[in-house]
Structure 1
Amino acid sequence: MAPKSSSSSSSGCRCAGGLGGWLKFLAILLGVLTPVYYLLEQNLHRFYIFDLDQLHDVAKRGIAAHGNDTRAIVQYIVDELSGQVSLSSYINRDEEWMFNNAGGAMGAMYILHASITEYLIIFGTAVGTEGHTGRHTADDYFHILTGTQLAYVPGEYAPEVYPPGSVHHLRRGDVKQYRMPESCFALEYARGWIPPMLFFGFADGLTSTLDLPTLWRTTWVTGKQMLGNLARGKL
């Protein structure tokens, strides 16, 4: 019986040693990444290439020029942004629409830009939808192009109403219920830490719709944009 006891004791020591090694590795990794994260967090604004006032202005001019013609408004915005020297190489002109299920809501999106610190998309639906905004690591600016969006915060007794030309700003860390009662499309811009938002964007597809072709295409286009911009020095 003695040898068996010795073997068991030795095995336990190896397991404890292995666990201790992993904990030490994680502690070192955390110690290295924490100051890096803090430094980047304090300087996130340096990586932004889109201007909030500029996006609001181009959205309003598109609406003024084309009224309720959503297709024409979207084309106007794409042409306007890609025509600017500072942005032209960062705008995806390959118009590809794909479904997006997130927070119980369903719509479609066209990805204009995706990087580590920013994304710019056209998001909307022709039939209406409703869901949870998610609680995100970035500020989200929803520029309404056509239709109306409603939003609700617990404790309020009236909805927030966002008509064409308005901007719904969902602040980083906040959460709301939102609804687009009928056809509604928006220019959506987020700035902050974008990668953590992808978990929310993919969750419904992985646990509910199981629409693997859409998940794959969304991953491919988003990854291509992010890695391509990162390779050019755009965080």
Structure 2
Amino acid sequence: MTYKIDPEVLQRVVTEAYPHLIDPTPGRWVASTAGGILGKVRFLYFSPREYVVIFGTPTGTQGFSGRYRRVDIDKFLLAGQIDSYDVESDDTDHLTLLPGDRGRMERGHARGLTIHPGSYHVEYGRGFVASTLPFAMVDTLLVSLEFASVRRSAVEFAALLRKRRRT
């Protein structure tokens, strides 16, 4: 398969060129609740095989990463701290990401997460992206009953897909 985005290049870009992308301007972020993790997301790129978002929280949150059997996910921390652990391992150690660090969750793995206050990261997913949407939307729709956020997410996805088709 041919991919347009190289995670190694993205890490350099995130840590050196784009720290200014975090913009708390109202109307530019969408609320997201997935796996109990409540935060704000801004969609930067979305295609059937790849996505790039900025995700963060000004107050902190914790929950479950999800298990994506058909997508690898890279996180590039811009600000704050993320602690995570393998939910199925006998290992009691945890991984800490600090600004400039890259974390990777390979297909089929799942992690418990604590995202500290003021943490923002760029997330890049590669694989069958549509398989992530149920996890990304079910909590927001069925647990939080936050229909406005689901609608807004759908509008953002559609706009990015239309933009991608024009390019």
Asked if these proteins are the same fold (TM beyond 0.5), I'd say: yes
How many residue pairs were aligned? 161
Partner of 2:66 in structure 1? 134
In 2: Cα distance, 1:225 partner to 1:60 partner: 24
In 1: Cα distance, 2:94 partner to 2:21 partner: 27
Aligned-partner residue type, residue 118 of structure 2: S
State how 1:11-160 maps to structure 2 within 5 Å: 43=1, 46=2, 48-62=3-17, 72=20, 74=22, 96-136=28-68, 137-153=70-86, 154=88, 155-160=90-95
2:97 to 154, 162, 180: 162
Deviation at 1:73, TM superposition (A): 5.0
1:186 to 100, 114, 121: 121
SS at match of 2:130: coil
Give me the TM-score of the superposition, normalised by structure 1: 0.64
Structure of higher RCO (CA pairs closer than 8 Å, 6+ residues apart): 2
In 1: Cα distance, 2:8 partner to 2:85 partner: 25
Q: Which runs of 5+ in 2 are unaligned?
A: none
Contact map agreement 1:152 1:178 (CA 8 A) in 2: yes
Contact map agreement 1:124 1:183 (CA 8 A) in 2: yes
Larger strand proportion of the pair? 2
In 2: Cα distance, 1:226 partner to 1:102 partner: 22
Deviation at 1:224, TM superposition (A): 2.7
Contact map agreement 1:98 1:108 (CA 8 A) in 2: yes
Query: Is 1:203 matched with 2:135?
Result: no
In 1: Cα distance, 2:130 partner to 2:21 partner: 28
Aligned-partner residue type, residue 126 of structure 1: P
| RMSD, matched Cα | 1.8
Larger helix proportion of the pair? 1
Partner of 1:81 in structure 2? none
Between the aligned residues of both structures, percent identity stands at: 25
SS at match of 1:196: helix
Deviation at 1:138, TM superposition (A): 0.7
Partner of 1:221 in structure 2? 156
In 2: Cα distance, 1:211 partner to 1:130 partner: 19
Moved beyond 2 Å, runs of 4+ = 72-75, 226-229
The superposition leaves residues 146-184 of structure 1 with CA deviations (integer Å, 9 ceiling, x where unpaired) of 001011113221211111111110001111111113220
